[in-house]
């Protein structure tokens, strides 16, 4: 099977580039399953139910959030009704919504998407992601119970992401990082067969400061700023990662970076 994971969608320009290509990505690259991180989709902070529905109606299978997921009014109720929008699974059980979605349809592979949040330098306080996955994998086994297990690890620190990738190597299909908005060049298959990338990058305008208008540079120059951060609205780049998974073992056979449009160098246009 082939899975596409797209990184943090930031603001209107990020939404537009994803929606522009979402309908044809599945056919163009023979994608079986699409995961979008939508943590910054609504004005740069969180997502609304209306925007979430738009992504799902246009071809996304699962939406993941992160530390900004609850920034928009009314999203808690939407999380309770729409199980395909995930909040981090390792948040307390009192938090609305679910962090795991298991696709179990007669004509599709049985896939688990698990959304996790890091513990280092993150505003939301979650359970240890390593312990959480140990408990999850005590109930679900790759290659027997599930044909694929894909992790979106929304974390700040690259070492924490790398550590989780190696910790889960051979036990899950893929560990893909989100949150930092900058695509890393370390996409690879780890020693025991798990696909890994520290950060997919963002779907947004890269002529910016991680998706925000360059006016926020003043905060770094002066040490403070009264100006509200606003998402940049120039031409956006779609950043994603395509992962091929062996249906029998659940392990990854290839991983490739995808970049379309915008200011970054195009990658994956001739992906077969």
Which positions are catalytic?
Answer: 68
Rounded to whole angstroms, the Cα distance separating 81 from 29 reads: 31
Per the CB < 8 A criterion, the answer to whether 47 and 238 are in contact is no
Q: Cβ-count burial of 224 within 10 angstroms (0-12 exposed, 13-18 middle, 19+ buried)?
A: exposed
If we measure between CA atoms, which residue out of 209, 216, 207, 210 comes closest to residue 235? 207
Length of the chain: 272
How far from each other are the two terminal CA atoms of the chain, in whole angstroms? 13
């Amino acid at each position: 099977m082939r899975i596409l994971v797209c990184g943090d969608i930031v603001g209107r320009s990020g939404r537009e580039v994803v929606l522009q290509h979402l309908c044809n990505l599945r056919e163009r690259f023979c994608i079986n399953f699409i995961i979008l991180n939508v943590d910054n989709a609504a004005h740069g902070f969180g997502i609304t139910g209306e925007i979430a529905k738009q992504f799902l109606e246009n071809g996304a299978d699962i939406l993941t959030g992160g530390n900004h997921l609850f920034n928009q009014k009314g999203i808690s109720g939407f999380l309770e009704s729409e199980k395909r929008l995930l909040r981090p699974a390792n948040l307390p059980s009192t938090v609305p919504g679910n962090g795991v979605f298991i696709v179990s349809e007669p004509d599709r592979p049985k896939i688990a998407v698990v959304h996790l949040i890091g513990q280092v330098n993150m505003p939301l306080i979650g359970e240890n992601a390593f312990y959480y996955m140990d408990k999850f994998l005590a109930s679900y086994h790759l290659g027997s119970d599930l044909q694929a297990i894909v992790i979106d690890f929304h974390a700040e620190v690259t070492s924490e992401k790398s550590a989780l990738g190696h910790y889960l190597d051979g036990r899950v299909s893929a560990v893909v990082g989100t949150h930092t908005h900058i695509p890393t060049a370390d996409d690879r298959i780890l020693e025991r067969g798990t696909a890994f990338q520290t950060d997919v990058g963002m779907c947004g305008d890269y002529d910016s400061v991680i998706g925000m208008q360059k006016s926020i540079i003043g905060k770094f120059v002066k040490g403070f700023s009264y100006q509200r951060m606003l998402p940049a609205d120039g031409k956006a780049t779609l950043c994603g990662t395509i992962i091929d998974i062996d249906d029998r073992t659940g392990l990854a056979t290839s991983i490739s970076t995808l970049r379309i449009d915008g200011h970054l160098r195009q990658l994956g246009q001739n992906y077969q």
